[in-house]
Every structure is written in C-alpha cells, then in structure tokens.
Structure 1
Amino acid sequence: MNWGQQRIDRRTVLRGAGVAMGLPWFESLSSWASDNPAAARSEQLPKRFAALFMGNGINSKHWWATGTGVDMELSQSLQPLEPLKGKLNVIHGLFNKQATGVGIHPGQTGNILSGAALQKGSVLKGGISLDQVLANHWAEQSPQASLVLGCEQPITGYHETNFSMAYSSHISWQDANSPVPMEVYPSLAFDSLFDNHGSRRTQSILDRVQEHARQIKRQVSHRDQTKLDEYLTSVREVEKQIERTRKTKDDADERARNRGRLAALMKRPDNGLPEDIRDHMRLMCDIVALAFQTDKTRVASVLLCRDLSGLFYPFLDVRAAHHPASHDDLSDAYERVSRYYVSQMAYLASRLDAMPEGNGTVLDNTCLMFISNMWSGSQHDSTKVPLLLAGGLGGTLKTGRVLDYAASGDDNRKLCSLYLALMNRMGVNQTEFGDADRQLEHL
C-alpha cells in the first residue's frame, strides 16, 4: 500500500475490546502532513501547556542561573535541567499580588494559577485557573479537555488564617467556586487516558489493540512503523508499572470496605497510593507525556505535593516531612528536596523532547511550567515565586534565557501577565486575566 496516497486520519485511534489508544504524530497522518512529510508546518501541530506545582518554596541559596542557551550556568538545584538548557527559561522576580498580605499557606496557594482574590470562611471563592481557561478553549480539539493530577490526597478543614484547606490542596479551578476534581491514583489516570473501562480493564491494553495496530502498521511509512513500535513499547513499560499500582489500590479498597471507611480518607499507603513517591510522580509524568504525545489532551496540571505537605523523603536522607523541612529551607536537606522536584520537570521535559513531532519534538510545541507558591518556606515569603519554563510553544516562545523582573516594579512583574502572554501564544486572545491587563514584557 502506498501510504502517501492512502493516509490515515489524525483522529484514528487503535481500538480493542473496551479500549481506545490514540496515536502519536506520524508523517503519514493526513491532517498533520504535507505533500512533503519532512516539511510538516509547525502551525499545524498542537500547542500544549502543563503546570507542575511544588508547595512551600525552594532553597533560595541554590536557585539561580546565568548566561544564555547552551552556555547557561545552572545552580545546584537546577542541575537536573542541564541537558535541556537550550530549551529552558529561568524566570525570576514574578509575584502573585493576591497571595501577599493574606496570611500563610492556603491564601498563598489557591490562586497560584488564577491570580484571583480568595475568600475566607466556609464559601470557596477565587477564580478560574489558567489551565482551565486553556482547557475550555481547546475542549473541541482534543478528546479530553485537561488532565488534573496529584500525588497527595486533598485535605479538608480550615487553616488558622480562616482560609479553607481546599485552597492548599488544589491549583486547578474550573470556576470561582469549584476546584477541578484531582486524580491521585495512577491506575485511574491511565484508564482515562485510554478509555479503559469495564470488566476487561485489568487486561493488557496492547493485547487488545494488537490486531488494529497491525492494520495501521501496513498503512504508514517505514519511518512511522518504527515510531509505532517505539510508542507501543513505551506504553507497555508504563502499563507494567500501572499493574502494580492497580493491585495496591484494589487491596486498599477492599480494606476500606471491611473497615466501613473510604480509602481516600486513609493515610498512605493504606489509601492505595504508591508508597514510594518516586514511582508515583514518575507515573504521573509518564501519563502526561503519553497524553500530550497522542493529543488526548493539550492541558495538564500536576500537584506534585500540596501546600502543608506531609510527604517524606527517606531516599534523600531527609528526616522531616516536607512542610516542616521547608521551615529550614536554607539547609542542605531542603536543597536536596528542591532539586528532586526540579528533576520531575526534567524527566517530563526529557520524555517530551524524545518524541519526534514535525521538524522538532513534542517539547518544542509545549510549555512546561514549574512553580511553587512561595520563595522561602521559613519566612512564608510569597513576594516572588520560583518559576521555570521549558519548551518553545511551536516557536512562539524564545528559550535558553534567564529573565529577571525583580527590579521592574510591581506592575511589570505580575505572574498573571505571564499567563496572559502564554494564553495569547496558544490562541486564547484575552486582554486581561487575574490582576493583569497586559502581557509580560520581554518574554
């Protein structure tokens, strides 16, 4: 078969019993290919955005960068991003005005992606978050509007500042009053990625789509046949890990039923979440990578750890839990924590950068944003936030730079001005968002 004459469509998916698997970018796909597959135009390719959040700040002594491009020098905490320097922007000095002067923790977190003023008391009120503005815009272009993932269960109740703990537990908000439900179980996030439901969901996805994959393989170019094999192999590697977490969750659900409780209300590992957070975070990054590669969604957020986090890091030789460790934020121990979280961004960025798409990679058509709600955990200082961007958004975002807005004046260093600029680069043309009415200069 001449693939150049009988191309399959971009929306073709591999189907099997109770499962649907999207395809990555192929030169053979009609709506993403030109007559010359090697000259696929970048504007035909989707742009994506993902936010990765770490609560309670970083070690500021080891958070800096100088220089440009491949000659950029990165601090100790940013070292995991060394191979990606040319596709990185280190941004210093931006702040979220509505998160200052309101007290510590929840009021510094619940509006990190919205810039909205938060209401105290029993009624939640803030604003729609950046990711959900993008999700609403792209809802008709991809099967799933957004992925909202987390590696810690939300907490309930109220902080001493009279802000709801919901603000500490969620960064993605569908409107002023409602956070987007966050999926914390990797197996359920994986199932949603492949529409894997019903009695056969514990069976291998690849086994069920095998016959359709053979048919597709006969319709694509030799180069795409290789890409298809690589893609199926990567899915299988993730699926093997998911199988273990699925059993852990099923066992937790059974224990919860026997105790007359909800698994979600129990502590890790009794709640069925992966006991080793390294496995948990990596799986969530894998799921985002597959979702972006297959255009399942173009928008994602991952709450790696919430504000007031209780995660532990024995593999980093850190004795305290995340929140109390952040109160000694200039220590070597907390520097290791900071660097570990940066490594999660580096892992996801590297995965996307290894996925060919058009004349570049999926990362080249993506903006990954790493952010925390404060600069210093010991001071609860939110007068500026640590922020990293990776990826070029289809050539609309220059990379390989260090941008410092600390001395630019408050009107010129608004976090929401950055969000406006990113939205406009993704085709969401808004004149204001949060507390900003103009885009961030020099971006």
Structure 2
Amino acid sequence: MTYKRRQFLRDLSLGGSSLAMAPFLHSLRVHAEGDEAAFPKRFVFVVKSSGIDKFNLVPDGLTNHFVDEKSGQKLGNRSRREGALMDVPLMKHKLPEKLAALEKFKDQMTIIQSLSGVGFRGNHTKGFGTLSLHDSENIAIAPTLDCLLGQHLSTGPYPMYGMAMNGRLLEPGWKPEDSYCYPNLSAYGAAKPVAYQGSPRKAFLELFSAAVESPQQLKKKIALNGNLMDFLGKDARRVEKQLSGDDKERFAQYLESFDALRKIEEKKAGMTDQVRKHAPKLTDRYDSEVPSARIESHFEIASAALITGLTNVITLRPDTLGVKYSELGLSNSVHALGHLQENKASNGWTGHQARMEVEKLHLKQIAKMAKKFAGIPEGNGSMLDNTMIVYMSCSSGDHHCAGHDWPFILLGGMGSKLRMGRYLEYPKYGAEGHRTTGNLYLSLMQAAGMKTGATFGQPDANLKHLNVTGPLAELMA
C-alpha cells in the first residue's frame, strides 16, 4: 500500500494540477514517507481585546504574585510581587477555574506569564505592535508575526487568513462587521495591513466555494480571472510606459493584487475534493449577530481552513471593546467591564468575574478546536501535535496596556520543538532573568523552522542591563 501511494504521488506530481494541489499532496507525501519532522506546521492566534487577567491563570498550589499577599486582592499591571523564575509541570497542579475547559489538554498546554512588551505606545491596544512589537498602533511599519509565519509555512492559497468581530476597537452602537474590516493587527510589511473577514457567511463562501459550486461554475470562474488578467496585461504595458518613480511602483503593486487573486482561485480549484470533504456546514448561525455565535462560527471556519490546507496560519479577533455579551446577561460592553474591577456588572457579577466568563467563552472554543485537531491522525500523533494555538490580548494583561506583564496560553505542539505542559512565570519587569514577548516570538519562529536574528521587534531601552536576546530557553525542547 505504501509503495502504491508513493508511485501515485510521483505520477501525480508530473501533472499540471500539482501546484494547485501542493498542500494536499505534501500532506500525503509526508504520511507515505513517515517523516514526522516534515508534517505541516500551523498556527492559530486568538487575539482578544481588553487584556487577559493574570491573577486567575496561576495553577493551584503555586504562589500567586499577582494578588496581595494578605488581602488576596488583584494587583495592578506593574504591582506584581517579586519572585524568581517559575518553571513547573502542569500535571502536578490543578488548573484554575478559568482554564477548566483545557484540563484534558494539560500536557499539551503551556501558560506563560510576566513577559513584557514595553516601548511602543497604545492605550487600549498595541494595534499592529501586538504582533510586530513596534510602535505601530494604527499604521503598520513592520511585518507581523502571523504574516511572517504564514509566508514561511503556507503552501495553500492564503499565507494567512484573518477573521474579526469588527475593525473598530471602540465604537458606540456596536454591531458585528458584515464584510471586510481592518482590526489593525496583521501586516505583511510597512503600509501593508491585512483585511479580515467579519462575516462568517462570506468567509465560508470565500474559502469553501468549491463545496457549493458546480465544477462548471468553478471552471468558468478560473477562465474569467484568466481573461481579466490578459485584458489588464495589454492595457498595463501601455499605462506603465507613461508612469515613473513611485507611481510606477504603486501601479505594479495594483496589478500584482489581481494576479494574486487569480492564483488564489487556481489553487482553490485544485483543492476541490479536500474542500468538499472538510468544509463546515453552512447554517443560519453564520448570520447571527450574537457574539458567542459569531465566535463559534469563526472558530469552525478556521478549523476547516487549516484541516483543508487552505492556509497554515489563522488569526482570530474574537471581540472588540464595544462588544456586549448579552448571552451572558451582560449589558455592559467589554470596555465597561475593564473598568469595573470589584464593582458589579449588570448581571450581578464583579468586573473580574465578568471578564473571566468572557475569557472562558473564548477558551471553550479553543478547547473545541483542539479536540478536533487531536482527532485527526498525523504520523504517530495528531494534527494538534503540529499546530500551535496562541491565546493572547492586544492589550497585554490589563484593560489599559502598559505591557509590563503579558500573559500567553499556548496549546498544541510544534513537532516536539517546544516544551509543553508547563507553567512558566518570569521575574517581574526589570528584574534579573526577566524576558520579553520578543523572546517568545523568536521561540515560535524557530520552532516553525524559521531562521531568526537575535531579537525581534523594537528593543526596550529600559532593559539594556538584561540579556533579552534569543528564544526562551525554558520553552525550547
């Protein structure tokens, strides 16, 4: 059977469809050859707004440096207590209530606390700086981590794909976006922001049109795209001769965008069988404006896109500050909840409890995604062993993002390149042994097989006395 599969792959790779079917063929080839290290690597970045509370991420039995030692009250962003590096196996400790949905994945999860990302501005968000680590809240000035990983890993139509609740962080009269939006999170480079899809239905039709279109419709679409490029090509040569300098460069980028769209459609057409096999079911939930329903739909579409090989990197923006989780009995917006602290929300919860319940809603979907990936065999393990889900916030560990304590939850694996099943808490900002988000991003990039420099992003001038180069040694296997 193995011989026949290999012979089939050699024969098929000689055909004209090999480029379009590259993601699927690569997966088959790896299985046939039994090369564990060559399995596709994938990332999912789930970037929430308003921070992720740190004090309720500490496993039972460990010293909680994020609460007052006597009163047990939550401390502020820069007020965490002193403490040495903590590197503890999660299997020896009960997870906190907030992470209960991830209990069965304890050996494949690592909680990281007290990394910093300081030196780039942001009041309620670091914007593009969240994933580029530059002073880049509203305008992209450097490529972001997800786009860099996507360009390195993805062989499908999309280097990375993003879905968001909304493009505007804070607005009155909030409602979910029903088309493309710009949440200011991802960019391929300076002035090259990535548009996210807000509508689950439109994301489904964009990614999985092969599941609902006939072969004739798909063929016609490819032909039309090809004819459009031929038409543009003739006119383009005439127009290009009349341009110079920046105008000529901008015109070239304009034409490249059309060519990129054509290539996307060609690749998707070559993956029709895979798309039809793994496409989610289009339901009325995809039109719901209830936050939890939209989040569930985005996760469902993201899972299918990764399984199919349409992309290897997904970034999800589950909420913005204007979102109101009415299904939790809350009339307060996410922004309002961030200011409540111990005061009561509309349903009687404290601000801290309400924020935790929102995070639990996200983590439930992460657990559902992980379960799906864990059920898909890859070699001697599963798809989850080669996928890293990263839960984080654009606002570090608090509603107002100073960035001195940035928590991350990692779930999955990178082919055993990272040490999972750990609780890692680094010394507080400025103390000996403190590390940064840049060190974490280097770890993820190196685990994905990328060559990196010694640092990532904009350096923190206040940490010149510390060695903050290279990946996190405690995370690397």
Same structural fold, with TM-score higher than 0.5 when normalized by the shorter chain:
yes
Find the aligned partners of 1:72 and 1:193 in 2 and give their Cα distance. Answer: 41
Give how far 1:323 is off.
Answer: 1.1
Shift of the alpha carbon at 1:295?
A: 2.2
CA–CA separation in structure 2 for the residues paired with 1:174 and 1:23: 21
Specify which of 421, 425, 440 is matched with residue 418 of structure 1: 440
2:98 match: 77
Matches within 5 A, 1:183-262: 183-196=197-210, 235=279, 238-241=280-283, 245=286, 248=287
Instruction: State the one-letter code of the partner of 1:132.
Output: C
**Residue identity matched to 1:138:** L
Aligned to 2:345: none
In the TM superposition, 1:259-408 aligns within 5 A as 274-306=288-320, 309-329=321-341, 330-375=351-396, 377=398, 380-407=401-428
Q: Contact 2:50 / 2:400 at 8 angstroms: preserved in 1?
A: no
Query: Take 2:11 and 2:113, find their aligned partners in 1: how far apart are those partners?
Result: 40
CA contact (8 A) 1:376 1:382 kept: yes
Pairwise CA distance, 1:178: 2.9
- Alpha carbons of structure 1 residues 301 and 337: separation in structure 2 relative to 1, 3 Å: same
Structure 1: gaps (5+ residues):
14-19, 35-39, 158-166, 204-228, 249-273
After superposition, what is the alpha-carbon deviation per residue over 1:369-419, rounded to whole angstroms, capped at 9, x for unaligned? 110133554554431122100111011111100011134747841101111
Aligned counterparts of 1:314 and 1:191: Cα–Cα separation in 2: 28
The partner residue of 2:151 within 129, 133, 136 is 136
Residue 352 and residue 10 in structure 1: after superposition, are their counterparts in 2 closer, same or farther (change >3 A)? farther
Matches of residues 53-92 of structure 1 in structure 2 within 5 Å?
Answer: 53-65=47-59, 67-92=88-113
> Any idea what the Cα deviations from partners look like across 1:250-300, whole Å, max 9, x if unmatched?
xxxxxxxxxxxxxxxxxxxxxxxx212222111211222122222221111
Q: Judge conservation of contact 1:110–1:168 (CA < 8 Å) in 2.
A: no
The one-letter amino acid of 1:52's match is V
TM-score, with normalisation over the residues of structure 1? 0.71
Deviation for aligned residue 1:426: 0.9
Distance in 2 (CA, whole Å) between partners of 1:384 and 1:10 is 51
What's the secondary structure of 1:169's corresponding residue? Answer: coil
Q: 410-419 or 292-301, which moves further after superposition? A: 410-419
TM-score by length of 2: 0.66
1:115 equivalenced with 2:133 (yes/no): yes
* Letter in structure 1 aligned against 2:333: A
**Judging changes above 3 Å, is the alpha-carbon distance between structure 1 residues 119 and 11 closer, same or farther for their aligned structure 2 residues?**
farther
What residue number does 2:115 align with? 94
Secondary structure in structure 1 of the residue aligned to 2:311: coil
Bigger CA radius of gyration: 2
SS in 1 for 2:129: coil
1:196-239 CA-partner distances (Å, limit 9, x unpaired)? 499769x9xxxxxxxxxxxxxxxxxxxxxxxxx9997763xx22
Of 116, 124, 145, which aligns to 1:105?
124
Alpha-carbon distance, 1:171 to partner = 1.4
In 2, distance between residues paired with 1:138 and 1:188? Answer: 25
CA deviation string 1:339-371 (max 9, x = no partner): 222223222222211221111111100111110
AA aligned to 1:42 is E
Partner deviation per Cα, 1:153-175 (whole Å, 9 max, x = no partner): 43699xxxxxxxxx992211121
Q: Quick one: which amino acid aligns to residue 441 of structure 1?
A: A
CA distance in 1, matches of 2:11, 2:196: 27
Q: Is the Cα–Cα contact under 8 Å of residues 92 and 406 in structure 1 kept in the other structure?
A: no
How many residue pairs match? The answer is 357
**CA pair 407-11 structure 1, distance change in 2 beyond 3 A:** farther
- Return the alpha-carbon distance in structure 2 between the equivalents of residues 295 and 10 of structure 1: 20
Q: Alignment identity in percent?
A: 25
Following superposition, the deviation at residue 336 of structure 1 comes to 1.2
3-state SS of 1:305 partner: coil
Question: Does the 8 A contact of 1:128 with 1:175 survive in 2?
Answer: yes
Q: How far does residue 48 in structure 1 lie from its aligned partner after superposition?
A: 1.1
Query: For residue 161 of structure 2, what is the aligned residue in structure 1?
Result: 147
In the alignment, is the contact (CA less than 8 A) between 1:327 and 1:377 conserved in 2? no
Q: What is the aligned partner in structure 2 of residue 5 from structure 1?
A: 4
Once the two structures are TM-superposed, the CA of residue 21 in structure 1 deviates from its matched residue by 9.6
The one of 141, 154, 158 equivalent to 1:126 is 141
SS in 1 for 2:449: coil
What is the alpha-carbon distance in structure 2 between the residues aligned to residue 360 and residue 190 of structure 1?
29
